[in-house]
Amino acid sequence: MRIQLAAAASAILAVGCAPIIFADSELVAQERDFLLSTPRASISLRAGVSVPRAEGGRPSLWDFAREHFTVETGDLTGAYLLGEIGVRASRHMDLVLAVGYTSSAVRSEYRRWVDTDDLPIEQTTEFTTTPVTVGIRYYPLPRGRQVGSYAWIPSAVGPFVGIAGGVVRYRFEQDGDFVDYETHDIFSDNLRSVKASPTLHLFAGLDASVNTRVLFTTEVRYGFGSAPLDDRSFAGFSDLDLAGLHLSCGLTFRL
């Protein structure tokens, strides 16, 4: 009798708990497919490469470096990091604050000069930029759809384009040995210029949903700008060209 009662109680408990267990499992599955509200912001962290245009008006420091040192434009390709905070302004538009950083370094030597021991006259050229911009990111396709009063289902992919403006700070530095073209003497020095200038960025990319909260983002961005050089180290040159192409990918987190 006790065994029958225990079996009956177990059966009743199992029947009673089954809907709860099923409901919990269904809720977990649904949470993987939708959010309880439309995301209001996002944070993105990306990394990639930067390819400076390295041109400019005459006389250009970039041209001088390529002519006199064993430096090619491709040697200036370097690392690129970008952090973004986006705030949802409408169904198709975000306001975006972005902070970037590019860095490249190349060892070089004079093309037509050697020292008294027939050894190369060497130096290192470093170039970094730090752009800070505020802009608009536009999604031509819906980023998700609202279901009912609360559920928001994100789209699998979301292409975007955008424009941003702000300030870019650069540092151009050459450290090593140099030739005095008047006396032909060789001297060691550290030549540096650090300035800031307005910048304009155009960009396009794609968000791909990993899950409801995380996206994989790829972007191509082109920055425009130029800034004066420090007259103490680089007198007589035109403004330094700061334009360049930036390619990046990384993760974006919906908030």
- Out of 2.40.160.20, 3.30.70.660, 3.20.20.70, 1.10.3720.10, the CATH code matching 37-254 is 2.40.160.20
Residue 9: half-sphere exposure toward Cβ, Cα within 13 Å: 6
Residue 199: half-sphere exposure toward Cβ, Cα within 13 Å: 32
Instruction: Tell me the sheet residues that pair with 57.
Output: none
Q: What does pTM read for this prediction? A: 0.82
Contact 195, 169 (CB under 8 A): yes
Q: Enter the tokens of residue 108.
A: 């070089």
Which H or E element spans position 34? none
pLDDT (tens place) for every residue of the chain, 255 residues total: 433 333 333 333 333 333 333 333 333 334 446 667 788 999 999 999 999 999 977 889 999 999 999 999 889 999 999 999 999 999 999 999 999 999 999 999 999 999 988 999 999 999 999 999 999 999 999 988 877 667 878 889 999 999 999 999 999 999 999 999 889 899 999 999 999 999 999 999 999 999 988 999 999 999 999 999 999 999 999 999 999 999 999 999 999
Asked if omega into 142 is within 30° of 0 (cis), the reply is no
Domain spans of the chain, in order of start: 1-31, 37-254
Please tell me the distance from the alpha carbon of residue 100 to that of residue 111, in angstroms, as a whole number: 34
Q: Enter the tokens of residue 31.
A: 């949470």
Q: Tell me, what's the pLDDT at 2?
A: 37
